């Protein structure tokens, strides 16, 4: 009635192709070369379950996982074992410089290992160690000081504003405490928001006339969505309508498709 | 000219060189192309409706209204039949063209409640009517609605659903209220290649029926299959259907490196999309084709069979940590929705198996994900059910149904690409 995962012993339905718990391939021979050694791999910080680098959420408890780290040392470009074609190789075929597999002339990517054929050919031509040496120190230097800080210098002015990502235009926000509507001015329906997005292509980008509301209270700026048609997002999270969310310096605010950074 | 547009998006623009294997999320979207916009499929439809005693009052009145509105939606050359069931099943009108809608609706008006519930009798009679008018260029569909538990014929229902699936007749199964069995309707949907959904208020039956009829009329592409041809070392971990609704797709190995998942029909406008989790092997920096995605499909209106469209899935591996941190927000949003759905499914499974502690934990995790997604109401339901589970040892019927079916629909509005134009008058 059921099969057992050879990797983690979970009981699975007969027709399972992959283990529900650990993701192992269950087909005999499977997808073959799938690397199985979890050396250097990560564990969920919340429940400790093993995770694959690049996984966004823990498969076991759902906790968000961290970004995968760039390897300190580059893996040496180990040639992928070639699948030897049976019979004599035809003269019409070209060989992958990386794994040696036969490919049809004109192939952009190797049908076996997937490498871009041109790039593999270049890599062959270049002395390998040099690439490794040059590339190694760079990521280490770049990793630490770089994020967002360079793009969004904390402003000493204390003036609150939105900076539109695509145009760099600045919108100075009202300074006084209280409620301020963000939307699109429309004299026909008598809508005159405090922050008008018409000059910033608001209509084409899906900003509603009454899109969102800024509330400034004790010096803190809150934003809430006013049941807008195309929603309000803060740092890529969709806001529930009419639920105020505090903004802090550098937050990404999105109205429909209009992306801005909040600075103060 | 391809009748299907195929689009592939990856979770990152560039992937880091990690020195280990890593996971890549790939969103594959397939939809009928612009060339198909004028096509509407002729239907072969059967309405199989529960008229048992529990349908008394508003339910039966709203059901009559919904059936009449569905009939109004049909083209005159569409075929339709109406079956009502309680302890027995009655063919209210046999399969016929919807030319005289007035007469058909008059029959609907005569439906009265009474009796018990024997779903299999209804399905059986519905199938007989549908099989009469099956044709390659006509889309067959059974719309089944019930509000209660069936009496002792669950296995019969499952068998008939399988027969329907084999005959190419998907069943759209709807449960009304709280007293029906989710597992049975889900099984009927799965075995027949159809869908299942819940309707909490009788006034929403009409909307559910109309959406179903519209979707079937738009199903211009049939028998779609997704095939992934993988590079050496790449393995798929899971394939999820994400639109129109989230569900796990079962993958079938065609060979060592080819994997196939059946998608079924593609409707105009929505199409279908799938989220594929691929495990990539350790590789040096560079550009790699990790897989080819191919969709094979039939277009009955043009007499086309086994047409194909394919596209490459290419990744760039880089040592630039900053570049590797750039995500495609749309793909990541989909990943989060699938995660919420997965946690919720596990929670319900754990609760059904009696593992209260695990179920509570998974429900709380699902609530966190839902809250992050801006789904405040669903998050609250998950939280409430977790509390209830902890205190009383079981979940409520309405909360269970809401979580089970609403988390499937999380992907229904992916807003990033589609802006809804406002009426500026």
d(CA A199, CA A187): 15
The pLDDT value recorded for residue B323 is 87
Q: For residues B404 and B317, is the Cβ–Cβ distance under 8 A? A: no
> Taking CB atoms and an 8 Å cutoff, what residues of chain A touch B21?
34-35, 41, 52-53
Query: Above 0.90 for ipTM, yes or no?
Result: no
The most confident of the ranges A173-187, B30-44, B82-96, B317-331 is B82-96
B350-376, pLDDT tens digit by residue? 998 889 999 999 999 999 989 988 889
Candidate CATH numbers 3.40.50.300, 2.60.200.20, 3.30.479.30, 3.60.15.10; the one for domain A161-263: 2.60.200.20
How confident is the model over B154-187, as pLDDT tens digits?
Answer: 999 999 999 999 999 999 999 999 988 899 999 9
Q: Residue B148's pLDDT is what?
A: 87
Per-residue model confidence as pLDDT tens digits over A11-38: 666 555 555 554 455 543 333 333 333 5
Q: Is the pLDDT of residue B6 over 50?
A: yes
- Locate all alpha helices (DSSP H) within B144-295, ordered by sequence: 154-166, 182-192, 205-217
Least confident span in A30-39, B54-63, B101-110: A30-39
Any CB–CB contact under 8 A between B235 and chain A? yes
C-alpha B147/C-alpha B149 separation (Å) is 7
Percent of chain B with pLDDT over 70: 97
Residue that has been written with the tokens 């909040």 in this structure:
A262
Spatial separation of the C-alpha atoms in residues B399 and B371, rounded to whole Å = 17
Provide the pLDDT for residue A11: 65
A191 pLDDT tier (thresholds 50, 70, 90) = confident
Q: How many CB atoms lie within 10 A of CB A251?
A: 19
Of B23, B251, B368, the CB nearest to A54: B23
pLDDT exceeds 70 at position A83: no
- Whether residue A56 and residue B424 make contact (CB cut-off 8 A), yes or no, is no
| pLDDT of the residue at A135 | 37
**CATH code matching the domain that covers B4-38+219-324, chosen among 3.40.50.2300, 1.10.760.10, 2.60.40.3670, 3.40.50.300:** 2.60.40.3670
In chain B, % of residues over pLDDT 90: 73
* CATH number belonging to the domain at B43-217, selected among 3.40.50.1000, 3.40.50.410, 3.30.420.10, 3.30.70.20: 3.40.50.410
Q: Which residues of A touch B237 (CB under 8 A)?
A: 18, 23, 52
pLDDT (tens digit, 9 = 90+) per residue, A110-126? Answer: 878 888 877 766 665 54
Instruction: Judge whether residue A105 has pLDDT over 90.
Output: no
User: B372-388: per-residue pLDDT in tens?
Assistant: 888 899 999 999 999 99
Shortest distance, CA A215 to any CA of chain B (angstroms): 20
pTM of the model: 0.69
**Alpha carbon distance A206, A229 (integer Å):** 8
Is B237 within 8 Å of A18 when comparing Cβ atoms? yes
The 3-state DSSP class for residue B248 equals: strand
Tell me what pLDDT residue A26 has. Answer: 54
- Min Cα distance B35 → chain A (Å) is 26
Is the distance from CB of B414 to CB of B250 less than 8 angstroms? no
Which candidate in A14, A35, A54 is best for mutational testing of the B interface (most B CBs within 10 A)? A54
Burial class for A12, CB neighbours closer than 10 Å (0-12, 13-18, 19+): middle
How would residue A109 be classed by pLDDT, with cut points 50, 70 and 90?
Answer: confident
Domain boundary assignment for chain A: 1-26+42-65, 94-133, 161-263
* CB-count burial class (<10 Å; 0-12, 13-18, 19+) for A225: buried
Exposure b/e, B143-163, CB count within 10 A at least 16 = b: bbbbbbebeebbebbbebbeb
Is residue B345's pLDDT more than 70? yes
CA neighbor of B47 nearest in space, from B123, B136, B147: B123
Structure tokens at B410: 């999380």
Contact check, Cβ <8 Å, A71/B18: yes
For residue B229, is pLDDT > 80?
yes
Q: What is the pLDDT of residues B265-296, one digit of tens each?
A: 999 988 999 999 999 998 889 899 999 999 99
Q: Please, which residues 192-221 of chain B have a Cβ atom closer than 8 Å to chain A?
A: none
CATH 3.40.50.410, chain B: domain bounds: 43-217
Interface with chain A: mutation pick from B258, B357, B422, B424, highest number of A CBs within 10 Å: B422
**Each residue's pLDDT tens digit, A44-66:** 888 888 888 888 888 888 888 88
The continuous run of DSSP H or E covering B228 comes out as strand B221-230
Q: Does B255 touch chain A (CB under 8 A)?
A: no
Tokens 């952009």 belong to residue: A108
Taking CB atoms and an 8 Å limit, are B420 and A230 in contact across chains? yes
Q: Mean pLDDT over residues A193-197, rounded?
A: 90
> Higher pLDDT residue, A133 or A154?
A154
Residues of A within 8 A of B325 (CB-CB) are 67, 147
**Binary contact (B374, A119; C-beta < 8 A):** no
B279 close contact with A: CB closer than 8 A:
yes
Burial (CB count within 10 angstroms: exposed 0-12, middle 13-18, buried 19+), residue A154:
exposed
Q: What is the pLDDT of residues B184-200, one digit of tens each?
A: 999 999 999 999 999 99
- How high is the pLDDT of residue B295? 97
- pLDDT score recorded for residue A145: 37
Mean pLDDT over A229-240 rounds to 86
Residue to substitute from B12, B15, B237, interface A, most A β-carbons within 10 A = B237
pLDDT-based confidence at residue A188 (cuts at 50, 70, 90):
confident
């Amino acid at each position: 009635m059921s099969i057992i995962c050879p990797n983690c012993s979970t009981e699975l339905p007969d027709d399972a192709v992959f283990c529900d718990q650990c993701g192992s391939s269950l087909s005999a021979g499977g997808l073959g070369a799938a690397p199985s050694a979890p050396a250097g791999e990560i564990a969920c910080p919340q429940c400790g379950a093993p995770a694959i680098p690049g996984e966004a959420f823990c498969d076991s408890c759902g906790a968000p996982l961290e970004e995968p780290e760039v390897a300190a040392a580059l893996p040496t470009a180990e040639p992928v074992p070639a699948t030897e074609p049976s019979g004599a190789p035809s003269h019409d075929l070209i060989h992958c410089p990386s794994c040696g597999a036969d490919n049809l002339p004109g192939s952009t990517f190797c049908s076996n290992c997937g490498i871009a054929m041109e790039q593999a050919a270049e890599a062959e031509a270049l002395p390998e160690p040099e690439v490794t040496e040059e590339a190694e120190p760079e990521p280490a230097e770049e990793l630490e000081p770089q994020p967002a800080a360079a793009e969004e210098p904390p402003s000493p002015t204390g003036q609150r504003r939105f900076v539109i990502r695509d145009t760099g235009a600045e919108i100075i926000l009202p300074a006084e405490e209280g409620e301020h509507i963000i939307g699109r001015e429309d004299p026909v329906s008598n809508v005159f928001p405090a922050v008008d997005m018409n000059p910033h292509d608001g209509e084409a980008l899906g900003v509603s006339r009454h899109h969102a509301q800024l509330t400034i209270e004790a010096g803190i700026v809150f934003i809430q969505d006013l049941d807008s048609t195309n929603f309000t997002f803060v740092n890529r999270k969709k806001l529930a309508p009419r639920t105020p969310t505090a903004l802090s310096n550098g937050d990404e605010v999105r109205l429909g498709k209009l992306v801005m950074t909040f600075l103060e | 000219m391809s009748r299907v547009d195929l689009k592939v998006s990856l979770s990152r623009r560039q992937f880091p060189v990690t020195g280990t294997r890593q996971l890549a999320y790939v969103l594959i979207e397939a939809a009928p192309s612009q060339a198909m916009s004028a096509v509407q499929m002729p239907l072969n439809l059967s309405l199989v409706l529960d008229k048992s005693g529990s349908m008394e009052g508003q339910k039966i009145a709203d059901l009559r209204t919904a059936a009449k509105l569905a009939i109004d939606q049909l083209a005159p050359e569409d075929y339709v039949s109406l079956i009502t069931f309680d302890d027995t099943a009655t063919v209210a009108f046999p399969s016929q063209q919807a030319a005289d809608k007035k007469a058909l609706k008059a029959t609907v008006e005569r439906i009265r409640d009474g009796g018990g519930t024997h779903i299999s009798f209804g399905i059986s009679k519905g199938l007989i009517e549908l099989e009469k008018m099956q044709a390659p260029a006509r889309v067959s569909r059974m719309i089944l609605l019930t509000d209660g538990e069936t009496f002792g014929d669950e296995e019969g229902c499952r068998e008939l659903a399988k027969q329907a699936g084999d005959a190419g007749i998907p069943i759209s199964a709807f449960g009304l209220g709280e007293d029906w069995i989710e597992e049975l309707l889900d099984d009927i949907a799965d075995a027949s290649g159809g869908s299942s959904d819940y309707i909490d208020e009788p006034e929403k039956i009409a909307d559910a029926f109309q959406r179903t009829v519209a979707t079937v009329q738009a199903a211009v592409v049939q028998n779609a299959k997704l095939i992934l041809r993988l590079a050496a070392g790449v393995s798929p971990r899971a394939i999820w259907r994400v639109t129109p609704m989230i569900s796990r797709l079962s993958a079938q190995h065609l060979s060592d490196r080819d994997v196939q998942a059946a998608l079924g029909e593609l409707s105009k406008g929505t199409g279908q999309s799938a989220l594929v989790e691929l495990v990539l092997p350790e590789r040096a920096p560079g550009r790699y084709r990790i897989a080819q995605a191919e969709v094979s499909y039939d277009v009955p209106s043009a007499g086309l069979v086994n047409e194909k469209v394919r596209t490459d899935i290419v990744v760039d591996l880089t040592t630039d940590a900053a570049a590797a941190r750039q995500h495609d927000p749309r793909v990541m949003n989909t990943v989060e929705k699938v995660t919420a759905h997965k946690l919720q499914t596990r929670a319900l499974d754990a609760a059904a198996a009696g593992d209260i502690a695990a179920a509570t934990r998974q429900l709380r995790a699902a609530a966190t994900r839902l809250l992050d997604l801006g789904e405040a109401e669903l998050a609250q339901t998950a939280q409430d059910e977790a509390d209830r589970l902890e205190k009383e040892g079981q979940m409520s019927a309405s909360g269970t149904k809401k979580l089970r079916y609403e988390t499937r629909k999380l992907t229904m509005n992916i807003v990033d690409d589609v802006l809804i134009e406002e009426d500026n008058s």
